[in-house]
Structure 1
Amino acid sequence: MSERKDFCIECRKECYYSLRKQYVKKLIKDKEYTFEITEAFCEECGMKMDVHGLMDKNIKEIDEQYRKIEGIVSIEDIEKVINIYKIGKAPLSIALGFGEITITRYLMGQVPSKEYSDVIKKVLASPKYMMDKLEENKDKIAETAYKKAYEAAKEMRDLFSVSKKMLNVISYIFEKMEEITPLALQKILYFIQGFNLAIYGKEMVKEECKAWEHGPVFREVYDIFKDFKYNPIEDDRFVIFENTESELDINEKEIIDLVINTFGVYSAKTLERITHSETPWIEARLGYDDGIPSNVLISKNSMKDYFKRIDEKYNIETEDGVRKYIKKILEK
């Protein structure tokens, strides 16, 4: 029985109730929509109940579904624009060519027109477009707000210094893992690259990996996330690459899932320890004592050859095989 209780007008007393998803039809601007909402039902008489707070939840559910159906930007994404570009509500409104309080209204729940929604979505997807809008309306915005937002847009644009494939892979990792630190991300990317080279004979990403003191590192990725240091990455900027799974083929996603489901359960320091036990990093670090910086590349051929040997011994195309390999490494 549910632990939830409220007053049932049919039973005329406090009753336990359960929540169920129900479909309702709504007419909006002369167009009929079907929405899935949450409703409460008395566990004694089975009748629908008016539960406190449920109406607000239904309004939110309908709003989110309506926006998705019509391709209208969400409140959450508008907030991300503000956070990503470090700009206030009024300056953002002006920069986009809207009225000064337009963004404030949208954040309070007013649904944007499709035209204005498309502008906001384009800003979220393109730092260059945001820079153009800021430049276009520069004279209408306070200088401090303009400079801060323009610099943030430039930083966003610099994300594209890595390949689109690398960004898609990182975005997919973020989607699959609850949290990840920069150090752990580097190791996960390294294993993804190595496994893809061994299993499919080709690179996953074009970027080169270097043998740094704390293990394999993709320098361009390091530069993007270095400010997070040893903390989990929480980066709204990667909303740009949400829903880009179609740009990764089924084999690529299987490799990423394989690595996340096995190596992804370990701490960053454990992953570092694993890479320090592997031939590609060891050979690239020959001649360098502990603590000595190095920018020597870990060649893709050495990664491919090493993980092919591991595959022949442990069958790393399966999660069980990868786990056996990890266990053997950690027992050393």
Structure 2
Amino acid sequence: MKDRERTDFCTICRKNTGYTLKKRNIKKVIREKEYIFNITVAICNECGEEINIKGLIDKNIQEVDKQYREYEDIVSIEDIKKLMKIYNLGKAPLSLALGFGEITITRYLLGQIPSKEYSDIIRKALSSPTYMKKKLNENKDKIAPTAFKKSMEIINKLEDLFSISGEMVSVISYIFKKLEEVTPLMLQKLLYFVQGISCVLNKKPMFTEDCQAWVHGPVYPDVYELFRDFKYNPIEDVRFAIFDKAEEHLSKEERIVIDLVIDTFGVYGGKILEKITHSEIPWKSARKGYEDNIPSNEIISIESIKLYYLRQNEIYDFSSEEGLRKYIKNILNN
């Protein structure tokens, strides 16, 4: 079925005509500085002139606003909303907590662009729970005790995040971005597989943390503590919006590794992934001398993971999804 043509009234042709949405650059001077913005325009299919269609002006305003903020490195409205969600603070309490006037955040949410100074404060609070704690303590007397207490409880939990390396945070962020649902058990196993495949394809581990040989497979203890409240349920909490965009620090080669793991191991649930790790030498060797249900904190060394996956790579070729799927199938069928 052919798509219906978009039509609207063309003031040049003096009738309804079809139009095509295109992009074009415009120059705009803001505070005595010239910018070039790329906006959407509707072009008449008959005369080639621009048509004013419903909603396009609003879209252009949004496009210019977004690009201006990017030019000047200013936080977006979505960044501010995210900060409110992470720390469970309303507009006025957040304004006061950051040391702003009471209605400052309200004005920003309505579209007023923050100064660079205030934008930097918001961005720092968004990326650093420790900085947010500092601002909260500085302005404690300006906000309600209940709001202060709730925010401090969230901050204390979030600070645990920064016991994890930046590389680990980036990998977790990328996994969250690519998969709709991730349980703590599934996350632990995916991190372990990422480490193994990285040792093969990139000749180095993805992160420096060691995992331990727990009853239910390899576990990174600091990651476990961060998400333990979710148990076997998917990780869903606005607090972890702080992970957003951390994946931007990953290199192309690192993303290739994580994509391979997600597209192969990531199609299985946590219990199946646990079963796979229970069949692998690194976990089995670290568990020697322990009954199945006896806890242990024995380290699964990065070197043992590397050696094991290098050997398996010679058999299956882990540079492709096909090789990884063959490996997984072979383990699950034995």
Q: Is the 1:2–1:16 Cα contact (8 Å) retained in structure 2? A: no
Kindly report which structure 2 residues correspond to 1:108-127, keeping only aligned pairs within 5 A, or say none. Answer: 108-127=110-129
Q: Is the 2:77–2:108 Cα contact (8 Å) retained in structure 1? A: yes
Number of the residue aligned with 1:242 = 245
Residue 233 of structure 1, CA deviation: 4.3
Q: Is the 1:86–1:148 Cα contact (8 Å) retained in structure 2? A: yes
Number of the residue aligned with 1:67 = 69
How many residues align? The count is 331
SS at match of 1:206: coil
Number of the residue aligned with 2:96 = 94
1:274 aligns with 2:276: yes
Number of the residue aligned with 1:40 = 42
Kindly report which structure 2 residues correspond to 1:1-332, keeping only aligned pairs within 5 A, or say none. Answer: 2-3=3-4, 5-10=6-11, 11-199=13-201, 202-229=204-231, 230-233=233-236, 235=238, 237-239=240-242, 242=245, 245-246=248-249, 248-249=250-251, 251-286=253-288, 293-332=295-334
Question: For residues 111 and 288 of structure 2, what CA distance do their matches in structure 1 show?
Answer: 60
Higher mean C-alpha deviation, range 257-266 or range 185-194: 257-266
Higher mean C-alpha deviation, range 26-35 or range 227-236: 227-236
Question: For residues 100 and 118 of structure 2, what CA distance do their matches in structure 1 show?
Answer: 8
Residue 250 of structure 1, CA deviation: 5.2
Q: Is the 2:169–2:246 Cα contact (8 Å) retained in structure 1? A: no
Question: For residues 111 and 293 of structure 2, what CA distance do their matches in structure 1 show?
Answer: 54
Higher mean C-alpha deviation, range 229-238 or range 77-86: 229-238
Aligned partner of 2:128: which letter?
A: S
CA separation of 1:19 and 1:183: change in aligned 2, threshold 3 A: farther
Q: Is the 1:316–1:322 Cα contact (8 Å) retained in structure 2? A: yes
Question: For residues 138 and 266 of structure 2, what CA distance do their matches in structure 1 show?
Answer: 45
CA separation of 1:4 and 1:94: change in aligned 2, threshold 3 A: farther
CA separation of 1:65 and 1:299: change in aligned 2, threshold 3 A: same
RMSD of aligned Cα (Å): 2.7
Residue 112 of structure 1, CA deviation: 0.8
Question: For residues 325 and 16 of structure 1, what CA distance do their matches in structure 2 show?
Answer: 54
Aligned partner of 2:101: which letter?
A: G
CA separation of 1:315 and 1:88: change in aligned 2, threshold 3 A: same
Question: For residues 12 and 293 of structure 1, what CA distance do their matches in structure 2 show?
Answer: 80
**CA shift digits 1:198-252 (9 cap, x unpaired):** 4555433222223334332212112212334422545554546625644x45544
Q: Is the 1:83–1:236 Cα contact (8 Å) retained in structure 2? A: yes
Higher mean C-alpha deviation, range 263-272 or range 47-56: 263-272
CA separation of 1:3 and 1:224: change in aligned 2, threshold 3 A: farther
Residue 288 of structure 1, CA deviation: 5.4
Question: For residues 260 and 116 of structure 2, what CA distance do their matches in structure 1 show?
Answer: 40
SS at match of 2:28: strand
Residue 14 of structure 1, CA deviation: 4.2
Q: Is the 1:8–1:42 Cα contact (8 Å) retained in structure 2? A: no
Percent of pairs with identical residues: 55
Gaps of 5+ in 2: none
Residue 42 of structure 1, CA deviation: 3.3
* TM-score, normalised with respect to structure 1: 0.88
Question: For residues 25 and 274 of structure 2, what CA distance do their matches in structure 1 show?
Answer: 50
Q: Is the 1:199–1:308 Cα contact (8 Å) retained in structure 2? A: no
SS at match of 2:318: coil
**CA shift digits 1:53-98 (9 cap, x unpaired):** 2221111111111101101111011111111111111111111111
Higher mean C-alpha deviation, range 22-31 or range 41-50: 41-50
* TM-score, normalised with respect to structure 2: 0.87
Aligned partner of 1:76: which letter?
A: E
Question: For residues 219 and 187 of structure 1, what CA distance do their matches in structure 2 show?
Answer: 12
